[in-house]
Amino acid sequence: MDHRQPPSEQPFDDTRHPDHLGPSVRFDHCPWLFEKEATEEQRASQRARQRSLDGDSEVGERCYVAESAAVLPDVLRLGDDSYIAAHAYVTGTLTTGTDCTLNPFTVVRGTVSLGTGVRVGAHTSLLAFNHSTAPDRPIHLQPQSSRGITVGDDVWIGSHVVVVDGVTIGDHCVIGAGAVVTKDVPAWTVAAGNPARRIRDRREPASRKRETLGKGAGTAGPDALARFADTARAQAADLLARCWTGDRYTDRPGAAPSVRAHCDAVEIADLLLSTAPGQLDRAEHIERLASLQDRESGLTPELGERLPPMDADGFTGEGPALYHVLSVGYALDLLGAAFPQPVRGVGFMTADQLVARLERLPWRDGAWAAGAWIDSWATAAHWNLRHPDGAGLVPGTLEALFGWLLTRADPWTGMWGTPSADVGRLQVVNGYYRLTRGSFAQFGVPVPHPERVVDAVLDHARDTRYFGAGRENACNVLDVAHPLWLCARQLSFGGGSDGGYRSAEIRGWAEQRLTAALSRWQDGRGFGFGPGTAGPGPEPGLQGTEMWLAIVWLLADLLGHSDALGYRPRGVHRPEPAVGT
């Protein structure tokens, strides 16, 4: 479990242009970088920051306390190699062991004790105090009480968790994102939900879990998944070599080289081989992809093509450059690098400009295009917030995006856009996947109306125009699988769909599609995208292989079998939020 994920938001002083922000912004949000990268001047500033803390405060070696954090304790004991990240709010008495982290926007109040190696996710609140609620006086006049919160060693508390006063979380526990912990959690427990409940024992062997969950799984069970994954790994190097011209990657033999083909090769190699594709060394892959970025706009055109004209707000509305924000950005990320330049149009767009653009998107007759634009904008915002030069975003734009989306979601479907007689829900559901992938899923924000989304997606999945025998392509299956996975996880708080809303139907659909997907693998060639002329077509290639590998993981995880695959997507189709954890 890598806790060193970048945060989802970055502070800005409204009086200053983003290009002039100092290095403290980066360290506040990425404090794990401080020990390796800080200059002596920055270290001196941090020492002064620690000396200036309120109350009875002692800070250990190699610690970091963000300048933007409101650390106002009565008593603070921060163990060695610990940090308090950007915009955290700490009051009362906080005691930690070594290697403890409070990620951005955490709240710790009252008397809180953390053991060794505790990870507290972004936007989580540890609230070690309470109000009385007797009816004899107003709430603001009620007395307070505090029993304290105790967290043991080796504990991961996910993002957006609330832990209330009086709770003890035992050693080695994992608390799922969004949980509300109201009772003690025994050691080794994986818990989630509102109120939080036990999901399983963390020590449970993976083989036992697969055996229990595999009942009734038919041909899509753990053994079949393990055999498939072993086959794919054994053939991955030849599959990549098949699509290498000697100088560039193509999606399939005979196709033109493309930026996406290179990125798909990186994703496949990362999934199956845990390394960079063997045709170039890692540094050469990075140099080739990074050099494609346009220095002025921060966008990446297709090979041999020019960028389309920028719109008035400085961000293009069409073309492969939009998807390259995702594919190139995540390929570089998997290679341990990043875009050399921020995406300028996104970095300088104001909240008013963004809202105006959202209003102009083709929601009525082009919900997929609208969702794709938001996916690219939000992903560019993600890269900008992580960029070392502090380009970031104009204050309020990310909030404007989520505010606009939350207030425009249809409460009957949980989606955006309008179905039509011609294509049914296809545009709306596929647009929902793209939109939520880049915004809600990537930033770890719960989607609105998840039950209604499940209803709408399952209804769409019965449309034989797209899911009849021999008609499924990777986009259409992915754009159902991911929303079901996202909403099932949010509704059950336990991962997958077991025990959640309409779980039997979700599992039944996932099992059918997973069995069909595994049968489509072609030895030495991988997966084809799908029938017809959509996308790259039916011939096996890099895009089809990359997408179906991610789909297989999502379907397997809906059934509780993803451990059998031995891989987990980390790029464009990653299941976890890319920020804030």
Dist. CA 570–CA 568, nearest whole Å: 6
| Alpha-carbon gap, residue 116 to 135, rounded angstroms | 41
Task: List residues bridging with 119 in a β-sheet.
Answer: 101, 156
Q: Is 3 a catalytic residue?
A: no
DSSP string spanning 464-514?
Answer: HHHHSTT---HHHHHHHHHHHHHHHHHHHSSSSSTTSTTHHHHHHHHHHHH
The catalytic position among 20, 29, 87, 131 is: 131
Number of residues that make up the chain: 581
Burial (CB count <10 Å: 0-12, 13-18, 19+), residue 576: middle
- Asked if 496 contacts 484 with a C-beta cutoff of 8 angstroms, the reply is no
Alpha carbons within 13 angstroms on the beta-carbon side of residue 377 total: 33
Q: How many helices (H) and strands (E) does the chain have?
A: 19, 19
470: its two tokens: 């021999």
The Cα 518–Cα 53 span in angstroms is 58
HSE-up (13 A, CA, CB side) for residue 452: 12
DSSP 15: T
Element (H, E) at 379: helix 367-386
Give the residue among 7, 11, 107 at the shortest CA–CA distance from 395: 11
Whether a cis peptide bond, with omega within 30° of 0, leads into 104 is: no
Q: How many Cα atoms within 13 Å fall on the side-chain side of residue 527?
A: 26
Q: Which two tokens stand for residue 271?
A: 């999934």
Burial class of residue 423, CB neighbours in 10 A (0-12, 13-18, 19+): middle
Residues with a catalytic annotation lie at 131
